[in-house]
Structure 1
Amino acid sequence: MALEQEHFILDMLAAWGDGSDGSRPDIERIMATFAEDAVWQLWVPGGPVIRGRAALHQEIERQMSYVTHNRCTTRHIVSSARVVMTERDDYCVNNGVPMPHSMVAVYELNEQGLICAWREYLDTADLAKKKGVPLAEVGGPNAGAASAN
């Protein structure tokens, strides 16, 4: 267990919001947790891979253009010196539709303790059903548009 690393990730997750109507992600606080060359796979398997801090920033802004009321509730967290894993119940409102969903996320940390890789494992078929969209559109408008696969 690596408590410092866990607190680092929990703080980043808290920066996404508290689920209230007026709460918005603190993008700068979130971005401060990423290495310059960080990668974020939006969902596993098959989701877009966003590469680099600038692209991650664009992706978060893209998501915030249609998602509100963000909240990440951590159920379990496990860690080592360079990896933190969370089991979470996330919540958001997507174009007016509540989107509760469960996931597991894996965060790899570099030598400086910054996130260099982030993968989220979730049931995209469940999200597509809640959104009322085909599975291919589960990531919202132009999912992963900032991606540089």
Structure 2
Amino acid sequence: MGRHFDTLSKVIAAWQAKDLDAVLSHLADDIVWHYAAPGLPPIRGKATAAKLLARFHADMHGIEWRIFNWSETYDRLFIEGVDDYRTSEGRRVAVPYAGVLEFRDGLIVGWRDYVDLGVIAAQKSGEPLSAQVLELLGEAAA
């Protein structure tokens, strides 16, 4: 494994354990996080990222954040995976995504998630996972 992927693995373990302090310990103070790039403006700074993460955690249960593929070069980590969890209402949200993380001095300084906000909204409203989402997750379509 690469050193940046090792860092991300620690972030994933902390996120699944709902340990926000441990997640934040891997982010640079001046992080620029493009969640759902380019659909939303970026989050700037660790304090703002902490607020967003706290909001996410309030409605994410049984988190199964999985990485399917990754590649690391110099200060970048490229990933393909899924955020898979249950909402407070018990709805499954499983969203395939791709991301790019930038590192400086072992900390994440840039994070770009490429995800379809429409898929998230549909699943949160109770729509079943589509056949194409199931295929991307490696699950048999019903």
TM-score range relative to shorter protein:
0.7 to 0.9
Q: Quick check: 1:5–1:81 contact (8 Å CA) kept in 2?
A: no
CA offsets, 1:81-133, max 9 Å, x none? 200011112211123211011111110111x1211111111122111211229
Q: Match for 1:52: what amino acid?
A: G
Equivalent pairs, count: 125
Query: Cα RMSD over matched residues?
Result: 1.6
From 50, 59, 63, give the equivalent of 2:52.
Answer: 59
From 38, 62, 70, give the equivalent of 2:31.
Answer: 38
Q: Residues 121-140 of structure 1 correspond to what in structure 2 (within 5 A)?
A: 121-132=114-125
Measure, in 2, the Cα distance between the counterparts of 1:59 and 1:33: 16
**Are positions 1:12 and 2:11 aligned together?**
yes
Question: Whose helix proportion is higher, 1 or 2?
Answer: 2
Equivalent position of 2:98 in the other structure:
104
Partner SS for 1:62: helix
1:74 Cα shift? 0.8
From 80, 86, 90, give the equivalent of 1:87.
Answer: 80
Measure, in 2, the Cα distance between the counterparts of 1:83 and 1:4: 11
Q: Quick check: 1:14–1:71 contact (8 Å CA) kept in 2?
A: no
Runs of 4+ in 1 over 4 A off after TM superposition: none
Percent of pairs identical after alignment?
23
Partner SS for 2:53: helix
TM-score (norm 1): 0.77
TM-score (norm 2): 0.81
Measure, in 2, the Cα distance between the counterparts of 1:57 and 1:44: 18
Choose 79-88 or 89-98, whichever is displaced more: 89-98
Measure, in 1, the Cα distance between the counterparts of 2:117 and 2:74: 30
Partner SS for 2:35: strand
CA offsets, 1:3-38, max 9 Å, x none? 111111122122211xxxxxx421111001111100
For structure 1, list consecutive stretches of 5 or more residues without a partner in the other structure. Answer: 18-23, 134-149
